[in-house]
Amino acid sequence: MKTPTLIRVFLVVGMILLGGPTGRGGGVVTDCTEASLRAAVTDGGTIIFACNGTITLSGMITITNDSILDASGHQITLSGNGSRVLYVSGSGKLTLANLTISNGSGDNGGGIYNEGSVTAVNCILTHNSVVGQAGSDASFESAGGSGGSAAGGAVWNSGLLWARGCTFTGNSALGGSGGAGASGDWWQMCNTPGYPGGVGGDGAGGAIFNCGTAYFVNCTLASNMGTGGAGGAGGFGYFYSPDFPPPADGPDGAPGLSVGGIYNAAGQCFLTNCTVAFNSGTGILVSGGADLINTLLVENSPGGNGSGGLTDLGHNLSSDATCMFTHAGSMNNICLLLGPLADNGGPTPTVALLPGCQAIDAGDTTAAPPTDQRGVERPIGIAADIGAYEFNKSTNSGISPVVTECTEVGLRAAMSGGGRVTFACDGTIILSNTVGITTNTLLDASSHKITLQGSGVRLFQVSQDVAFSLANLMITGTGIQNAGGFVNATEVLSKPRLVGEYY
Ligand SMILES: [Ca+2]
C-alpha cells in the first residue's frame, strides 16, 4: 500500500519538530529477522526495510535513542509473541511508519510502553493484550487483596504520543480479580462478620492508557476490549453462638472498571476526526482531560461511549447519550449507519460511513485534516465528515433504493445493490427464499409498517465483513430452528444492528 503524499509530508515535518534522528546509526533491515532489527536499532537513526514479513521477537525492544522505523512500501509486523513489543524510555524518541505491532502482552502497555516520545503514522496495533494480577486471598483478619489493573492493551503512555492515521483493533485489557476476604474471627468467642472481598482491577484501556499527552488524528479505535476484574468474594461470618446477633458475611469486592477504547487517567488527550466504535467496555473514560473535535463514538458498550467529562470542541457525534455533547454541531443519541472495520482502501482498515449516515458533511471542515485516514482528500461534498472516514457519494451509488411494491420481488430488486433501502408501501412481505446480504445494507422502514415473514426459511444471510442494519420493521414467523431471522457470518465485524422499533 502506498503512503499518501500528505502523510509523508507530515512524517518529515514530524521528524523535524521532534528534533529528527541524530544522524548516527540507521540502516536497512534486509532479512526480517529479530537479529537484524535489533542490530539496526542499536544506534538509532532511520531504519528502513527491504523485506516483507512478521518479525517475531523473543523479548521487548528498548528504545533509548532517536529511532525511526519506516516500513513504507513493505508489509512489516512486529510480533511480541507474548512479551511487550516496544519500550521507549524517557530519553527515547521513536517514530513508527506503516507497520503493524501485534501480539504484545504484559500487565500494561502490551504493544508499546512509552515514557518518552512516540509518533505513529499509518500503523496498525492489533491483538496486543494486558492482564492484571489477581489479588491474593486473605487468610487472617483482613480483606482480600485488590486485583491489579491492566492498562493499555496496545499503548501505555506517560510521555508524548502522536498517532495519525492509525488503527487500533482487537487489543484487550483484563483487570485482575480481587482476592477473597477472610472469614470472621473464630477466636473472639462471639459471632464475628466476614472480611470484605478485594476489589477487581481495572481493565484500563483495551487500546490506550494515557497519563501523559496523546494526540490522535484520523485514527480508528474499533473492537478493542476492556474488562474489569471480578471483585473477590466476601469472607463468611463466623457463627459462635445463638446468643449473639447472627454474623454477616463480608461484602464482595467491587469489580474493576471496563474501558475498551481510551482510559485517560491523567494528563491530556486530543482526538481530531477519530472513529471510536464497537469497543467492548466504555469507549473513552476520562479523569484527566480529553478534547474532542469531529469525532465519532458509536456502539461502545457496556459503559457507553464516554464517561467522566469529555470536552466537546464541536462536531462530535455519539450514538448514545453518555457523552452529553453540547457544543455547536455536536449530536447525541444518533443512530449512525456504519460499515464494519474493513479494508476501504488506504494503508489501514477503517470504518466506512454508509449512505444516510448523519456524520456525512457534519464536521467542521476548517478543523479537519486535509485527508481522511485512508489519504482521501477532504472535504468531499459540502463539508468534512465526522470521524476518520470521508464518505464519497460517487463511489457509493448515492442512489437510495426504494421498495415501491411490498412483495418479495419488489424487496429483492430494491436490496440488490445494498445501501440504505427505504419503503414506499406498507404490508407483510413473505419470503420464499433467504436473501443474501453481500454488500453493506440498511433496511429502513421508518414511517411505514413493514413485516418480513419467512415461509419456512431464514430471512437473511449476512456475508463476512458486511454490515447489515435493520430499522423500524418487524421480523416474524420464519418457522425454522436457529437464527430464523438472520445469520451473521462474523461476530465482531458485521453484527447486524437492530434499531428503533423492532420485534
Ligand atoms: Ca463530506
In the reported structure, the alpha carbon of residue 362 is separated from the centroid of ligand 1 by a whole-number distance in angstroms of 7
In the reported structure, the alpha carbon of residue 375 is separated from the centroid of ligand 1 by a whole-number distance in angstroms of 14
Q: How confident is the model at residue 472 (pLDDT cuts 50, 70, 90)?
A: confident
Tell me which residue has cell 472469614. Answer: 183
Residue in 319, 301, 412 with CA at minimum distance from that of residue 358: 319
In the reported structure, the alpha carbon of residue 296 is separated from the centroid of ligand 1 by a whole-number distance in angstroms of 14
Distance between CA atoms of 420 and 336, rounded to whole angstroms?
A: 12
pLDDT digits (tens, 9 = 90+) for 90-110: 999 999 999 999 999 999 999
Over 50: is that where the pLDDT of 400 sits? yes
Over 50: is that where the pLDDT of 114 sits? yes
In the reported structure, the alpha carbon of residue 374 is separated from the centroid of ligand 1 by a whole-number distance in angstroms of 14
**What does each C-alpha distance from 39 to 22, 34, 63, 331, 470 come to in angstroms?**
17, 8, 12, 51, 54
Q: How confident is the model at residue 479 (pLDDT cuts 50, 70, 90)?
A: low
Q: How confident is the model at residue 8 (pLDDT cuts 50, 70, 90)?
A: very low
Residues of the chain with CATH 2.160.20.10: 5-353
243: its cell numbers:
446468643
Over 60: is that where the pLDDT of 481 sits? no
pLDDT digits (tens, 9 = 90+) for 40-54: 999 899 999 999 999
Over 70: is that where the pLDDT of 18 sits? no
In the reported structure, the alpha carbon of residue 364 is separated from the centroid of ligand 1 by a whole-number distance in angstroms of 10
In the reported structure, the alpha carbon of residue 382 is separated from the centroid of ligand 1 by a whole-number distance in angstroms of 6
- Count of other CB atoms within 10 angstroms of residue 58: 10
Over 90: is that where the pLDDT of 466 sits? no
In the reported structure, the alpha carbon of residue 477 is separated from the centroid of ligand 1 by a whole-number distance in angstroms of 41
In the reported structure, the alpha carbon of residue 361 is separated from the centroid of ligand 1 by a whole-number distance in angstroms of 4
- Ramachandran class of 258: left when φ > 0, alpha when ψ lies in -120 to 50, beta otherwise: beta
**DSSP for 154-217?**
SEEESSEEEEES-EEES-EEEPPPPPPPPPP-GGGSS-BPPPPPPPPPPEE-SSEEESSEEEEE
pLDDT of residue 491: 32
Tell which CATH classification among 1.10.10.10, 2.40.50.140, 2.40.40.20, 2.160.20.10 matches the domain 5-353. Answer: 2.160.20.10
Q: In the chain, pLDDT over 70 holds for what percent of residues?
A: 88
pLDDT of residue 134: 98
pLDDT digits (tens, 9 = 90+) for 290-325: 999 999 999 999 999 999 989 999 999 999 999 999
In the reported structure, the alpha carbon of residue 351 is separated from the centroid of ligand 1 by a whole-number distance in angstroms of 15
In the reported structure, the alpha carbon of residue 326 is separated from the centroid of ligand 1 by a whole-number distance in angstroms of 22
In the reported structure, the alpha carbon of residue 385 is separated from the centroid of ligand 1 by a whole-number distance in angstroms of 4
In the reported structure, the alpha carbon of residue 263 is separated from the centroid of ligand 1 by a whole-number distance in angstroms of 30
What is the reported pTM? 0.79
The pair phi, psi for residue 284, each rounded to 5°, is: -135, 125
In the reported structure, the alpha carbon of residue 379 is separated from the centroid of ligand 1 by a whole-number distance in angstroms of 5
pLDDT digits (tens, 9 = 90+) for 384-395: 999 999 998 776
Single-letter code of the amino acid located at 286: V
